[in-house]
């Protein structure tokens, strides 16, 4: 089956630093990738939709300048958390899908970000 | 009111029991309904995908959709300890997924 690789799986950083998370589709091309955020015991909340070759579409309340998304190729999208603060500590998950609908969506293994 | 409501549990059952997981929703425009399984600190894995009202079966799993009541269910037969995970319902909204909070399930040997 299709695989979505997410890296790193865990990162600990100091407050004020920036962290980059990568999401790769390993055996298919993804024109669209999605970035989610999940707090403990909470649901996945969609942050933004990443579109290859164009600007990402952010959900209401998500700061564009803080969560920078780059989708430079059909197999790679990156999420950069800029000037991270402790309240940004969360589990970040990406997903990507083949064309054809949500049944073809595959999720990465997630990145646990801890900001000290 | 949240668009998708799901009892967070936790739900604990003995091995072999039938498990019933449920979600309600408020947006009648939802057309696609999914159930995901998520192990701790991992990405969700798609279990079931349904489009219309009715039942869909896959092995020990049965997904049920009742659009008139805005209610979906996932049944797990002959539950196993390996089924212990968080189960999330999700619904499609114009290509975006709206997730329930997830129900934490523990199957005791």
A44 and B101 within 8 Å at the Cβ level: the answer is no
A44 and B88 within 8 Å at the Cβ level: the answer is yes
- Chain A residues in contact with B87 by the CB 8 A cut-off are none
pLDDT at A65: 94
Residues A67-80 have pLDDT tens digits of 999 988 889 999 99
pLDDT in tens, chain B (109 residues): 678 999 888 999 999 999 999 999 998 888 889 999 999 889 999 999 998 788 999 999 999 999 999 999 999 999 999 999 999 999 987 778 899 999 999 999 9
Tell me the shortest Cα–Cα distance from A82 to chain B, in angstroms. Answer: 23
Q: Residue A62 — φ and ψ, nearest 5°?
A: -95, 125
pLDDT at A104: 65
Backbone Cα Rg of chain B: 13
pLDDT at A52: 83
Determine the straight-line distance between the first and last CA of chain B, rounded to whole angstroms. 37
Task: Say whether pLDDT at A107 is over 70.
Answer: yes
Token readout for A22 is: 């990568």
Peptide bond between residue A8 and the one before it cis (omega within 30 degrees of 0) = yes
pLDDT at B43: 92
Q: How far apart are CA A38 and CA A44, in angstroms?
A: 5
Q: How far apart are CA B105 and CA B87, in angstroms?
A: 7
Residues B34-60 have pLDDT tens digits of 999 999 889 999 999 998 788 999 999
Which residue, B54, B55, B48, B42, is CA-closest to B89?
B48
Q: Residue A33 — φ and ψ, nearest 5°?
A: -130, 155
CB A100: neighbour CB atoms within 10 A? 8
Question: Is A113:A18 a contact under the CB 8 Å cutoff?
Answer: no
The C-alpha angle with vertex B19 and arms to B18 and B25, in degrees rounded to 5, equals 140
Mean pLDDT, chain A, rounded, equals 90
Task: Say whether pLDDT at A97 is over 80.
Answer: no
Q: How far apart are CA A59 and CA A98, in angstroms?
A: 22
pLDDT at A1: 60
B43 and A42 within 8 Å at the Cβ level: the answer is no
A109 and B42 within 8 Å at the Cβ level: the answer is yes
Task: Say whether pLDDT at A83 is over 90.
Answer: yes
Instruction: Give the nearest partner residue to A43 out of B34, B88, B104, using CB atoms.
Output: B88
Question: Is B74:B66 a contact under the CB 8 Å cutoff?
Answer: no
């Amino acid at each position: 089956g299709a695989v979505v690789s997410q890296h790193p799986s865990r990162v600990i950083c100091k407050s004020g630093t920036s962290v980059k998370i990568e999401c790769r589709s390993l055996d298919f091309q993804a024109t669209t990738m999605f970035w989610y955020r999940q707090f403990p015991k909470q649901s996945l909340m969609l942050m933004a939709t990443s579109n290859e070759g164009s600007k990402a579409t952010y959900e209401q309340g998500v700061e564009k300048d803080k969560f920078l998304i780059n989708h430079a190729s059909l197999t790679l999208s990156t999420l950069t958390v800029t000037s991270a603060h402790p309240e940004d500590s969360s589990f970040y998950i990406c997903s990507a899908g083949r064309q054809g609908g949500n049944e073809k969506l595959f999720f990465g293994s997630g990145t646990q970000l801890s900001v000290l | 009111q949240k668009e998708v409501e799901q009892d967070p549990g936790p739900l604990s059952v003995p091995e072999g029991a039938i498990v019933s997981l449920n979600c309600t929703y408020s947006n009648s425009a939802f057309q696609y309904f999914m159930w995901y399984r998520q192990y701790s600190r991992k990405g969700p894995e798609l279990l079931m995908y349904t489009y219309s009202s009715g039942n869909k079966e896959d092995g020990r799993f049965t997904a049920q959709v009742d659009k008139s009541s805005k209610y979906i269910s996932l049944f797990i037969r002959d539950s196993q300890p390996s089924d212990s995970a968080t189960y999330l319902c999700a619904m499609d909204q114009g290509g975006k997924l709206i997730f329930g909070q997830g129900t934490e399930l523990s199957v005791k040997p």
